[in-house]
Chains A and B, each alone.
Chain A
Amino acid sequence: MNIIEVKNLVKRFDDITAVDNISFNVKKGEIFAFLGPNGAGKTTTIKMFTTLLQSTSGKVLINGFNPSTHPNDVRRSFGIIFQDPSLDDELTAFENLEFHGVLYNVPKKIRRARIEELLKIVELDKRRNDLVKEFSGGMKRRLEIARGLLHHPKIIFLDEPTLGLDPQTRNHLWSYIKNMNQKENITVFFSTHYMEEADRMSDRVAIIDNGKIVAEGTAEKLKKETSSQTLEDAFLKLTGKQIREEGAKNIDKLRSMRRVWRK
Chain B
Amino acid sequence: MEKIKKYSKVIYILWLRQLKRYYRSRARMVGSLAQPVLFLVALGFGFGPIYQKAGGGNYIQFIAPGIISMSIIFTAMFAGIEVIYDRQFGFLKETLVAPVPRWTIMLGRTFGGATVATIQGIVVFFIAILIGFRPENILLAPFALIFMILIAFFFTALGTAIASPMEDMQAFPLIINFLIMPLFFLSGALFPLSGLPKAIQTIIYINPLSYGVDGIRAVLTDQMHFTLQTDFFVLFSFAIIALAIGSYLFSKIEV
Residues of A bordering B, CB below 8 Å: 47, 50-54, 71-73, 75-76, 78, 80, 82, 84-91, 95, 98-100, 102-105, 131, 147, 262-263
Contacts and interface: CB of A to CB of B under 8 A. Distances in A.
Nearest to B94: A86
B99 interface: yes
A198 B120 CA distance: 52
Given A82-B90, A90-B24, A103 B95 contact: yes
A100 B9 CA distance: 12
Contact of A91 (B17, B167, B254): B17
Nearest to A54: B254
B10 A80 contact: no
A52 B97 contact: yes
Contacts of A47: 255
A105 B9 contact: yes
Interface in B3-18: 6, 9-10, 12-13, 17
B255 A52 contact: yes
Given A76-B99, A90-B24, A52 B254 contact: yes
24 contacts: A51-B97, A52-B93, A52-B96, A52-B255, A72-B99, A72-B100, A72-B101, A80-B97, A84-B90, A85-B89, A88-B94, A90-B25, A98-B13, A99-B13, A100-B94, A102-B13, A103-B13, A103-B98, A103-B99, A103-B100, A105-B100, A263-B87, A263-B167, A263-B255
B93 A89 contact: no
Nearest to B99: A75
B88 to A, nearest CB: 10
A99 B100 CA distance: 13
B98 A86 contact: no
Interface of B: 6, 9-10, 12-13, 17, 20-21, 24-25, 87, 89-101, 167, 254-255
Given A51-B97, A80-B97, A103-B95, A86 B10 contact: no
B146 to A, nearest CB: 30
**Among the interface residues B6, B25, B254, which one has the most CB atoms of the partner chain A within 10 A?**
B254
A105 B13 contact: no
Nearest to A263: B255
Given A105-B6, A147-B94, 5 more contacts: A53-B254, A88-B91, A104-B98, A263-B87, A263-B167
Nearest to A88: B91
Contacts of B17: 88, 91, 95, 99
Contacts of B255: 47, 52, 263
A80 B91 CA distance: 13
B15 to A, nearest CB: 11
A131 B25 CA distance: 12
Pick from B13, B87, B92, B101 the residue with the most CB of A within 10 Å.
B13
A95 B97 contact: no
Contacts of B100: 72, 103, 105
A100 B6 CA distance: 13
B153 to A, nearest CB: 23
Contacts of B10: 102-103
A262 B93 CA distance: 12
B189 to A, nearest CB: 31
Given A80-B97, A103-B13, A90 B20 contact: yes
Contacts of B12: 102
Nearest to A71: B99
B13 A86 contact: no
Contacts of B89: 85, 89
Contact of B97 (A54, A75, A88, A105): A75
Contacts of A102: 9-10, 12-13
Nearest to A262: B167
Nearest to A53: B254
Contact of B21 (A53, A75, A90, A100): A90
Contacts of A53: 254
Specify which of B9, B100, B167 lies most central, judged by the most chain A CB atoms within 10 Å of its CB: B100
A89 B25 CA distance: 12
Contacts of B167: 262-263
A100 B255 CA distance: 19
A89 to B, nearest CB: 7
A85 B167 CA distance: 17
Residue picked from A73, A88, A89, A147, most chain B C-beta under 10 Å: A88
Nearest to A131: B24
B85 to A, nearest CB: 10
